Amino acid sequence: MKKSILIILISVFSLSSMIAQTEKPKLYHPEADAKADIAKAISKAKAEGKHVLLQIGGNWCSWCIAFDKKVKETESLRTLLNENYIAYHLNYSRENYNEDILADLDYPQRFGFPVFVVLDSNGKRLHTQNSVYLEEGKGHNEKKILEFFKHWSPVAVDAKSYPSRKRTKK
């Protein structure tokens, strides 16, 4: 009898450990006040001289989770993101589609998920990125993500980065 109880307890513990390990991360928060959170991200971006990167998707989206994991685990991506962007995970799910925000962003969900929107430090939409162009094979491509992060960084879109080539008349 004691052996049976011990075996059952070990089985339950093992099963609960396996379930805990397979749970998806909670990157997206349907209950969040996304408008207020984005306003805070814009304010922080302005103070730090950065842009805002909205990653739109949901906890249901395996590609969304995979992209986030790729960026967090790849030093070059993580560094470039942190140096140039304030990142925010904008929820899109049955619990909250954030339709008003997406309408204001010209419906980026049309590209599928994840989809990325770059805002400047005033909240102006600069770019919408279809994630399919960041993929290769069965995952995301580090080089393509680096190019995306670089091409939409504050320095890349700053006119001061591009001195005039006009010739002066003599």
Q: Tell me the CATH number for domain 34-157.
A: 3.40.30.10
Phi, psi dihedrals of residue 67, rounded to the nearest 5°: -65, -50
Residue 20 has pLDDT above 60, yes or no: no
pLDDT bracket for residue 71 (50, 70, 90): very high
**58-62, 88-92, 164-168: least confidently modelled range:** 164-168
**b/e string for 60-80 if b means 16 or more Cβ within 10 A?**
ebebbbebbebbeebeebeeb
Residue 103 has pLDDT above 60, yes or no: yes
Mean pLDDT of the chain: 90
Mean pLDDT, residues 10-38: 75
pLDDT score of 13: 57
Residue type for 1, please? Answer: M
Full-model pTM: 0.84
**14-18, 28-32, 140-144, 158-162: least confidently modelled range:** 14-18
pLDDT bracket for residue 78 (50, 70, 90): very high
The residue ranges of every structural domain in the chain are: 34-157
pLDDT score of 169: 62
CB within 8 A of 86, min separation 6: which ones?
41, 42, 44, 45, 48, 50, 51, 52, 53
Mean pLDDT, residues 31-57: 98
Residue 68 has pLDDT above 70, yes or no: yes
